[in-house]
Homo-oligomer: A and B are copies of this chain.
């Protein structure tokens, strides 16, 4: 499939930050025709997924129809499809249902998936936190274990109220903090028959600290906030095994639990392995400074799918802001290339890093500046920063309404145990 006229055809695989930023950068240029392919009909706003998992906001607050996003753009076509194979030499993408897209410029931005590092049982039994589907399943699972403990409080002795979060990066810290607040603010009132005070959240990481990319002061602050919220830190500790009933740690400790949340790292989407391109660290595709794959000047690889060279050495981290900027930069390089100008090396504009530890405590670090945010200010400022990244005005307003409502009313959002396709909890195991 190729546009009939003389336009250049840009085929983008993936409607995450990188893919939509690239499509947006090209949308105003009428000599370009863009086809954006995603396996979902929606963009998912990943930084807020942990709030869906912990019933703070609704799934629809973090998902936005891709067709709606590009509704005004005549030269952007959205296609629902799963990219099954890529031929970088021919610049074609073949979908699982057999459609073949012929590109002049191919943009691969299929994102990442959880990296379970081949730890036995992790992929089968842990709940990852990368997609909207993951977040909805996790929300139902959290409610499911509380319901089970309510049905039979003896199950608390079987680890029903133990929660293990693996990985103390931003996602792991945010989900652990939000889960602690969910339990403290909501579950204690809604499950009066359950000994909710016995609930324990373990945050496990093989590193020496939580939030390792942040400064030492932030480490100390975040650890203090988490411990005050009741999160038990297990640092310098790896995970050796996950079963339906427990987690085995590298120090020999066994934590009985029915819910292990996996925030332990990312690897490239399976598409990387089907692209015919060389994979580097994390299964990601190594790219040149101009974001193209070596030897394929018409093939761009962006965001979490790529190892993007950091001018100061190594690769850039897997962050939404990196993905977004690679998308914009690739768009500019495609425009340059199409008009005979040279492609330029990607320069990351570091806007800082942030993590929301609890609803009233966040850390934001911009270059050398470090901010600790406390109280309602933390919540609203943090939301403002995210809102500025958000893709649709509708999302911004609704998430803001729901968020502030929920913040000031101390009332929880949609605690819907609505996933009926979860595996049954096996209480017999261990």
Q: A residues near B, CB below 8 A?
A: 40-42, 58-60, 63, 65, 67-68, 71, 77, 79-81, 97, 99, 132-133, 136, 143, 147, 150-151, 189-191, 193, 394, 397-398, 401-402, 405, 409, 411-418, 420-421
Given contacts A58-B60, A81-B151, contact A190 B417 (CB under 8 A): no
In the docked arrangement, what's the CA distance between A409 and B133, Å?
28
Out of B40, B397, B398, B417, name the residue touching A41 (CB < 8 Å): B417
- Residues in B whose Cβ lies below 8 Å from that of A59: 58-60, 414, 416, 418
- Residues in B whose Cβ lies below 8 Å from that of A143: 41
In the docked arrangement, what's the CA distance between A26 and B59, Å?
34
Out of B63, B189, B402, name the residue touching A398 (CB < 8 Å): B402
In the docked arrangement, what's the CA distance between A67 and B136, Å?
19
Asked if B189 contacts A71 (CB within 8 A), the reply is: yes
- Residues in B whose Cβ lies below 8 Å from that of A41: 143, 147, 415-417
Asked if B40 contacts A97 (CB within 8 A), the reply is: no
- Residues in B whose Cβ lies below 8 Å from that of A191: 67
A247 nearest CB across to chain B (Å): 26
Given contacts A67-B190, A190-B68, contact A80 B418 (CB under 8 A): no
- Residues in B whose Cβ lies below 8 Å from that of A40: 417-418
In the docked arrangement, what's the CA distance between A77 and B191, Å?
9
Asked if B416 contacts A63 (CB within 8 A), the reply is: yes
In the docked arrangement, what's the CA distance between A189 and B416, Å?
32
3 closest Cβ contacts across the A-B interface? Answer: A60-B414, A67-B190, A58-B60
- Residues in B whose Cβ lies below 8 Å from that of A133: 418, 420
Asked if B67 contacts A413 (CB within 8 A), the reply is: no
Out of B60, B71, B418, B420, name the residue touching A190 (CB < 8 Å): B71
In the docked arrangement, what's the CA distance between A418 and B42, Å?
9
A407 nearest CB across to chain B (Å): 13
Measured CB to CB, the nearest residue on chain B to A136 is B418
Measured CB to CB, the nearest residue on chain B to A414 is B60
In the docked arrangement, what's the CA distance between A208 and B118, Å?
65
Which residue, of A60, A97, A405, has the highest number of chain B Cβ atoms within 10 A? Answer: A60
| Additional A-B contacts beyond A60-B413, A67-B415 (7; CB < 8 A) | A41-B417, A58-B59, A65-B190, A68-B412, A133-B418, A394-B405, A398-B402
In the docked arrangement, what's the CA distance between A245 and B25, Å?
42
In the docked arrangement, what's the CA distance between A150 and B99, Å?
12
In the docked arrangement, what's the CA distance between A48 and B370, Å?
47
Asked if B394 contacts A80 (CB within 8 A), the reply is: no
In the docked arrangement, what's the CA distance between A130 and B77, Å?
35
Measured CB to CB, the nearest residue on chain B to A42 is B416
A180 nearest CB across to chain B (Å): 19
In the docked arrangement, what's the CA distance between A421 and B137, Å?
13
Asked if B65 contacts A415 (CB within 8 A), the reply is: yes
In the docked arrangement, what's the CA distance between A99 and B153, Å?
13
Asked if B416 contacts A60 (CB within 8 A), the reply is: yes
Given contacts A190-B68, A398-B402, contact A42 B417 (CB under 8 A): yes
In the docked arrangement, what's the CA distance between A58 and B59, Å?
8
Asked if A394 contacts B411 (CB within 8 A), the reply is: yes
**18 A-B Cβ contacts within 8 A?**
A41-B415, A41-B417, A58-B58, A58-B59, A58-B60, A65-B190, A67-B190, A68-B190, A68-B411, A68-B412, A80-B150, A80-B417, A81-B151, A99-B151, A394-B405, A394-B409, A398-B402, A401-B401
In the docked arrangement, what's the CA distance between A81 and B417, Å?
12
Asked if B68 contacts A415 (CB within 8 A), the reply is: yes
In the docked arrangement, what's the CA distance between A52 and B91, Å?
40
- Residues in B whose Cβ lies below 8 Å from that of A42: 415-418
- Residues in B whose Cβ lies below 8 Å from that of A97: 151
In the docked arrangement, what's the CA distance between A193 and B76, Å?
12
